[in-house]
Amino acid sequence: MPTYSYIAEDPEKGCPSCRRGFDLRRPMSRPALAHCPLCRQPVKKLVSTFNTPVITRPLSVTDAKKAGFTILEKRCDGSYERL
């Protein structure tokens, strides 16, 4: 049975599970999960991996900031804006 990874579409609203992303084993025949089974917030499917407990959640600006990173976004004029 394939394992799918899901994460909240809006991490600000999700519960602790879907905010960080969670894995779910689900038969192929079942439709993709659209809502978190715990908090009912919309979730989106991440690229699935088979039997690999890797963390697939993308690094968000919020997470990066919490981790102490400074996010710089390059602007058209070549300067960087601090987010």
Q: Going along 1-83, which residue ranges are E strands?
A: 3-8, 22-25, 43-46, 72-74, 80-82
Task: Rank residues 3 and 17 by Cβ distance to Zn ion and give the closer one.
Answer: 17
Query: CB within 8 A of 51, min separation 6: which ones?
Result: 3
The distance of closest approach from Cβ of residue 70 to Zn ion in the complex, given in angstroms and rounded to an integer, is: 29
Residue numbers of the site for Zn ion (CB under 5 A)? 14-15, 18, 36, 38-39
Task: Rank residues 60 and 72 by Cβ distance to Zn ion and give the closer one.
Answer: 60
The distance of closest approach from Cβ of residue 13 to Zn ion in the complex, given in angstroms and rounded to an integer, is: 9
